[in-house]
Amino acid sequence: MTTLAPETAAPARTPRRGPGRPRNEDIDAQVLAAVLELIDDKEEVTAARIVSRSGVSRAALYRRWPSLTTLVAAALDVGRYVPPPIPTDGNLRDAIMEAILGTPLEGDNAGYPEERFRQRIRLAMADRTLQKAYWASHVSRRRAPIVDALRAGIERGGFRAGLDPEACFDLIAGVFYYQLVVRGERMDEPQTMERCRAAVDVAWRGMAAEQ
C-alpha cells in the first residue's frame, strides 16, 4: 500500500466537460465510496479493485491522488470534520470533548461508525506509512483548532504557564483511544463516558493555573 504507480505511465488527457460528464466532486465521492466499501468489507485495497468498484478509470485516480496511501487516508476521513476555530471565551472543555468524539456528545456518531474506526486503526498499525500520512493530512489538521485554543489559554493565563498544548491534547485524547483500543469499549456505554469525563477532569485540574 505505497504508491498508485501504473504499470505504464498514464497517457496525458485534457479534461473535457461534456453534457453527461460527471463533475469532479462526483468522481471524488465515487472513488472514496468505493475505497470505503472495500475497507468495510475487509478487502485489500488495490487500484484494480477501486477501478472495478467505482467505475472510475485508473488514469482518473492518478490525476486525483498521488498514491494509494493518500487516497486511503482521505477515505478514512470521510464523515469526520475539522472543527472550526474555538472561541477561547467559550466552554473550551466541552469543545474539546466534542472535537475528540467527532460529533456532538449527544449524537449517535452515525457519520463515522465504530467499525470503521477499528478498521482505520487496523490499517494504520499494519502500515506506518499510511499511519503517518493520515496523521499529517488529517489528524493533525483536526487537532489544530483545539491545540490553538489551549495555546491561547496558556498565553492568556487560564492555564499554567509552560504547559505544552500538544502534550495536553495527547493526554486528553489518549484516554478516549485507550477505551476503544485497549479496553475494547464502545463510547456510547455510560460507564465508559463517565470514566472519560473523570479523566478529563483530572487533566483539566492539572492544566489549570494556580490561584
Question: What does the binding site for a copy of itself look like in residue numbers (CB under 8 A)?
Answer: 42, 118-119, 121-122, 124-126, 128, 131-132, 135, 139, 163-164, 166-168, 170-171, 173-179, 181-184, 195-196, 198-199, 201-207
CB atoms within 10 A of CB 204: 15
* CB of 138 vs a copy of itself, minimal distance in Å: 11
User: Considering beta carbons, is residue 63 or 160 the nearer one to a copy of itself?
Assistant: 160
In degrees and rounded to multiples of 5, residue 2 shows phi and psi of -120, -55
Residue 21 or 132 with smaller CB distance to a copy of itself: 132
Nearer to a copy of itself, 21 or 122 (CB): 122
User: Cβ distance 196 to 176 under 8 Å?
Assistant: yes
Give least dist CB 68 to a copy of itself, A.
Answer: 18
**Closest CB to a copy of itself among 30 and 119?**
119
Q: Which residues contact 123 (CB under 8 A, 6 or more apart)?
A: 1, 39, 72, 76, 130
Spell out the residues 6+ positions from residue 141 whose beta carbon is closer than 8 angstroms to its own.
82
Sequence-distant (≥ 6) Cβ neighbours of residue 196 within 8 angstroms: 175, 176, 179, 187
Nearest approach in angstroms of CB 134 to a copy of itself is 9
In the complex, what is the shortest distance from the CB of residue 63 to a copy of itself, in angstroms, rounded to a whole number?
Answer: 28
Q: What is the rounded distance in angstroms from the CA atom of residue 171 to the CA atom of residue 183?
A: 17
- The CB-of-65 to a copy of itself minimum distance in angstroms stands at 20
Q: Which is nearer to a copy of itself, 54 or 131 (CB)?
A: 131
- To a copy of itself, the closest distance from the beta carbon of 14 in angstroms equals 39
CA distance 211 to 162: 16
- Which C-beta is closer to a copy of itself: that of 62 or that of 178? 178
Single-letter amino acid code for the residue at 201: D
